[in-house]
Amino acid sequence: MTERNVEIEDPLHAVVGTGKPPVIAPGHTFSTVTDKISAIVLTRKTSLGWYAGFGVAFLLTMLLLVSVTYLVLKGIGIWGNNVPVGWAFEITNFVWWIGIGHAGTLISAILLLLKQTWRTSINRFAEAMTLFAVACAGLFPAIHTGRPWLDYWLLPYPNTMGVWPQFRSPIMWDVFAVSTYATVSALFWYIGLVPDLATLRDRSQSKTGRVIYGMLAMGWRGSAAHWHRYEVAYLLLAGLATPLVVSVHTVVSFDFSIAILPGWHATIFPPYFVAGAIYSGFAMVLTLAIPIRAVYGLEDFITLRHLQNMAKVMLVTGLIVVYGYMTEAFMAWYSADKFEMYVPINRMTGAYAPFYWGLLFCNAVVPQCLWLRRVRSSPIALFVIAIVVNIGMWLERFIIIVVSLHRDFLPSAWGMYAPTIWDWSTYVGTIGLFLALLFLFVRFLPMISIFEMRTILPEAKVDEDLRVI
């Protein structure tokens, strides 16, 4: 037994009594945790790699700006979507991005309520990822309205036209769900940051740093009474965010399932969409966490345990998604409805069949490798699988949206969809925006929650026996 507790020099392979890698490498103290995480922001020289990466992401963000500007000038005719495929890349990307965001909330809220301490070192940047993904997601329906400068018409406000939004429409539900989600995610993230901003304020060597972090920290001083209310507020926010995150993708799925279109009108949609969202979100967390921990040397804090656990979540949610695919096919057959039965046949053999088979390969076949412990313990293998799942989940949304729309009831109304260069540039542009925001985040804010890392250290425990003097 004692052998298993031996500290091995490589923190990646350090093993504690349970036989699992630890959530934090042994030997860390309050000061080492604080210094190591805050040094990334405060003292470490910004690497050339950061400038290069941010530069590329910034250029792509400029591409997004050009695309949106051209869109406003010309109208949505620059995109490939047209009747019958009125929703195409833009809504695919919207659902893809917002799904990615869901993992952040799951990690920060649901795993907090379930007392999963391993979430501590990944929740901060998973929440940041949520925020940036929701920003990218929100952009798509906003520009897809065709006249984005009139988007405020979606809000219920007294106006001289005397009209009010149609609250029976799932599109209105979406407006409320996504804007609530964005607001609550931002609050959760910022409130989580406040004690760490105080740490940065106290440790910053420059006047500018002290002033900016000081203002953002709002005078946080770590008082016991403050901590108490803070913890209550944080738990309540987690409790509120948990049903919220489930509701958001449920409402997104209502956008489809309320319609009578074959391929959309299915009761499996809400749970299937939520599972897909968590699946793609964890894939994105892995896609980001694996390079970040390697580049910034954070293997002590983001250990193999985290990667393995995320791989397991991916495996489970991936299986739920596969169950969703099977249910869709079964219900189509069971409905005995000609149009419903045509949907899976068209998906498997129609014009877009390669995408469907690609989707099954990416989402159903490749992730089965995660059953093997060897794969779950290899960061490189996990990174590759995560990328494959990201692609697979994008294909899934493309198939649900475009393939369902292009073959509806009347053959005379059938059509084909092909993206234009502007569809692609807008999509790639949002990836640039997402990455640019992430680069700024890891440079200017602590990407791991310092105060929560302190709480999981052995020295953080109050020794009950020694309390009485």
Partner 1 sequence: MARATASVYGLMAEFDDPTTLVAAAAEARREGYQSMDAYSPYPIEELHEALGAHHTKLPLIVLIGGLCGCIGGYALQLWASAVAYPINVGGKPYNSWPAFIPITFECTILAAALSAVLGMLALNRLPMPYHPVFNVPRFALASRNRFFLCIESKDPKFDLDGTRRFLETLNPREVSTVAD
Which stretch in 69-77, 139-147, 239-247, 313-321 sits in contact with partner 1 by CB under 8 A?
A: 239-247
Identify the residue whose tokens are 């079964």. Answer: 330
Counting contacts by CB under 8 A, is residue 167 touching partner 1? yes
Cα 23 from Cα 38, distance rounded (Å): 19
Binding window for partner 1 (CB under 8 A); candidates: 49-57, 118-126, 141-149, 230-238: 230-238
The sign of the torsion formed by the CA atoms of 108, 111, 115, 121 equals negative
Rounded least distance, CB 288 to partner 1, Å = 26
Instruction: Work out the number of other CB atoms within 10 angstroms of the CB of residue 299.
Output: 15
- The reply on whether position 39 binds partner 1 by CB under 8 A is no
- Spatial distance between the Cα atoms of 355 and 343, rounded to a whole number of angstroms: 14
Q: Nearest to residue 423, comparing CAs of 70, 89, 84?
A: 89
Burial class (CB in 10 A: 0-12, 13-18, 19+), 212: middle
Candidates 80-88, 419-427, 428-436, 458-466 — which segment interacts with partner 1 by CB under 8 A?
A: 458-466
Answer for the pair 381, 359: CB distance below 8 angstroms, yes or no: no
Report which DSSP code applies to 155. Answer: S
Among 24, 100, 244, 435, which residue sits at the site for partner 1 (rule: CB under 8 A)?
244
Rank residues 185 and 425 by Cβ distance to partner 1 and give the closer one: 185
Pick 83 or 469: Cβ nearer partner 1: 469
Closest to partner 1 by CB, 127 or 452: 452
Nearer residue to partner 1 within complex by CB, 246 or 393: 246
Contact of 114 with 446, CB cutoff 8 Å: no
Total length of the chain: 469
Q: Which stretch binds partner 1 (CB under 8 A): 171-179, 275-283, 293-301, 425-433?
A: 171-179
Burial class (CB in 10 A: 0-12, 13-18, 19+), 459: exposed
Regarding 412 and contact with partner 1 (CB under 8 A), the answer is no
**Which of 2, 18, 31, 205 touches partner 1 (CB under 8 A)?**
31
- Per CB under 8 A, 164 contacts partner 1: yes
SS3 279: helix
Give yes or no for residue 209 binding partner 1 (CB under 8 A).
no
Number of residues that bind partner 1 (CB under 8 A): 68
What's the Cα-to-Cα distance from 122 to each of 32, 210, 239, 292, rounded to whole Å?
18, 26, 19, 11
Q: Is 168 in the site for partner 1 (CB under 8 A)?
A: yes
Radius of gyration of the chain (CA): 24
Q: Which one of 55-63, 66-74, 135-143, 186-194 is the stretch in contact with partner 1 (CB under 8 A)?
A: 186-194
Single out the segment in contact with partner 1 by CB under 8 A; choices: 75-83, 88-96, 116-124, 192-200: 192-200
Cis peptide before 419 (omega within 30 of 0): no
Between CA 385 and CA 411 the distance in angstroms is 39
Give the range of 93-101, 234-242, 270-278, 433-441 binding partner 1 by CB under 8 A: 234-242
Note whether 9 binds partner 1 by CB under 8 A.
no
The alpha carbon of residue 448 and the mean position of all alpha carbons in its chain are separated, in whole angstroms, by 16
Interface with partner 1, residue 207, by CB under 8 A? no
- Residue partners of 185: CB distance under 8 A and separation at least 6: 101, 104, 105, 127, 130, 131, 134, 241
64 binds partner 1 (CB under 8 A): no
Residue 109 near residue 62 (C-beta atoms within 8 A): no
Q: Which positions from 245 to 274 touch partner 1 by CB under 8 A, shown as an x/- string?
A: --x---x--x--------------------
Instruction: Say how far apart CA 201 and CA 203 lie, in whole Å.
Output: 6
219 belongs to the binding site for partner 1 (CB under 8 A): yes
Which of 113-121, 176-184, 375-383, 422-430 is the region at the interface with partner 1 (rule: CB under 8 A)? Answer: 176-184
Report the nearest approach of partner 1 to the CB of residue 90 (Å): 22
**Lookup: tokens for 282:** 């964890």
Among 11, 34, 255, 392, binds partner 1 (CB under 8 A): 34
Name which of 183 and 349 has its Cβ closer to partner 1.
Answer: 183
Q: Quote the CA–CA distance of 272 and 286 in Å, as a whole number.
A: 21
Query: Which DSSP helix (H) or strand (E) runs through 42?
Result: helix 30-42
**Closest approach of Cβ 93 to partner 1, in Å?**
22
Beta carbons within 8 Å of 379's beta carbon, 6+ residues apart: 290, 294, 304, 307
Give whichever of 155 and 421 is closer to partner 1, judged by the CB atom: 155
Interacting residue with partner 1 among 141, 195, 429, 446 (CB under 8 A): 195
The footprint of partner 1 (CB under 8 A) covers 29-31, 34-35, 156, 162-168, 170, 172-173, 176-177, 180, 183-184, 187-188, 191, 195, 198-199, 201-203, 218-233, 236-237, 240-241, 243-244, 247, 251, 254, 451-452, 454-455, 459-463, 466-469
